[in-house]
Amino acid sequence: MYYKPLFVLLIFLKAFSSFAEGADTLKLFYAIGKYDLSQEDMTRIAGLVDSLADTDTLKIYGYADYLGDESDNVSLSFDRARTVKSYVISISAGKNFLIITAGKGEISGARKRTREGEPFNRRVELVRSMPLKKTTVSAKLPPAKGSHSIYTAEMPTNRQLKSFKAKINALANLDKGSSIALPEITFQPGRHLLNPEAMPYVDTLLTYLKTHVNLVFEIQGHICCVINEGDSQDYDTGQNGLSTNRAKAVYDYFAQNGISTRRMSYKGLGSTDPKVWPEMSEHDRYLNRRVEILVISK
């Protein structure tokens, strides 16, 4: 009898999940410590997948409640998201939509804590994201196929560029094998195209490299939204290797603008070294889509 109210609540949440936030968001709920899918969950996921177009993005976000420690809850939330992702892939033959996965850890804020936790917070959200409004971007990197879809962001101010310039001046003082993170050099989601607001930072770095001709370096590319899963699919190529393609995009731009290829190399690090984890916001994911510069010699 003690668990009957909890059981009733879970049944209610299951019934509510398909329409929790409209036809483009599906919420699945879990028992304590669980991440497996029920047959009912699979049926709901299949219905959402059937509605997806190749130009859509499916974002799969896993969550946990406050039960257990924070580290375990990050892992549990990602197990939930990853299990859903695996099932989505298994039923998506012939479709080419982009999948973004993230485990967001526990959701805090409960006023009263009990041993039953917060059933509503033990969930996975599947969010269908329609293509962003097409915008023509004036960027110096070679364009990808078709128009560019971007997130709206402001171009850096003179003050921000001055601060960035001061930061990259530290490259001259770094020891061999040291790196500097450049979260200002960011990319469009799922693509190897730089965000337009990143271009002034790229050009500032280019100017620095032209005046420090003895610096030999490696460009390292990073991705967001997954952890310990290696690299992700590049929307522009349809193949894995997104972080490598991001590093190569910067490498190619430098080569096209006068930096000798004998001074530089590039490498993709996938999701192995996030700048921010767990990713709790779009800004966190924005910062993880980045490059770093590793000093080889100087």
Average of pLDDT values for 265-286?
76
Q: Is the pLDDT of residue 17 over 80?
A: no
Q: Which residue has the higher pLDDT, 156 or 20?
A: 156
Q: Which residue has the higher pLDDT, 227 or 24?
A: 24
Using a pLDDT cut of 70, give the percent of the chain over it: 80
Domain 6-129 matching CATH 3.30.1330.60: the answer reads yes
Residue identified by tokens 């999948």 is 99
What HEC string does the chain produce?
CCCHHHHHHHHHHHHHHCCECECCEEEEECCCCCCCCCHHHHHHHHHHHHCCCCCCEEEEEEEECCCCCHHHHHHHHHHHHHHHHHHHHHCCCCCCCEEEEEEEEECCCCCCCCCCCCHHHCEEEEEEECCCCEECCCCCCCCCCCCEECCCCCCCCHHHHHHHHHHHHHHHHCCCCCEEEECCCCECCCCCCECHHHHHHHHHHHHHHHHCCCCEEEEEECCCCCCCCCCCECCCCCCECHHHHHHHHHHHHHHHCCCCCCCEEEEECCCCCCCCCCCCCHHHHHHHCCEEEEEEEC
Start-to-end Cα distance in the chain: 72
Strands 264-268, 216-221: pairing kind: parallel
Please tell me if the domain spanning 6-129 has the same topology as the one spanning 154-297.
yes
Domain residue extents for the chain: 6-129, 154-297
Instruction: Note the pLDDT tens digit of each residue in 193-205.
Output: 888 888 999 999 9
The pair of structure tokens assigned to 274 is: 């996030």
Look at the pTM and tell me if it is higher than 0.85. no
Strands 179-182, 216-221: pairing kind: unpaired
What is the model's pLDDT at position 149? 34
The pair of structure tokens assigned to 191 is: 């693509």
Q: Sign of dihedral through CA atoms 253, 99, 223, 151?
A: positive
Average pLDDT taken over every residue of the chain: 77
What is the model's pLDDT at position 78? 83
Select from 17, 23, 65 the least CA-distant residue to 42.
17
Select from 226, 239, 238, 218 the least CA-distant residue to 270.
226
Instruction: Note the pLDDT tens digit of each residue in 51-98.
Output: 888 777 788 888 899 888 877 888 888 889 889 988 988 898 878 777
176 Cβ neighbours under 8 A, 6+ residues apart: 295, 296, 297, 298
Instruction: Note the pLDDT tens digit of each residue in 30-42.
Output: 999 999 999 999 9
Average of pLDDT values for 172-181?
83
**What confidence tier does 110 reach under pLDDT thresholds 50, 70, 90?**
low
12-26, 36-50, 123-137: least confidently modelled range:
12-26
- Cis before residue 131, ω within 30 degrees of 0? no
What is the model's pLDDT at position 41? 93
Please tell me the CATH code under which domain 154-297 is placed.
3.30.1330.60
**What confidence tier does 135 reach under pLDDT thresholds 50, 70, 90?**
very low
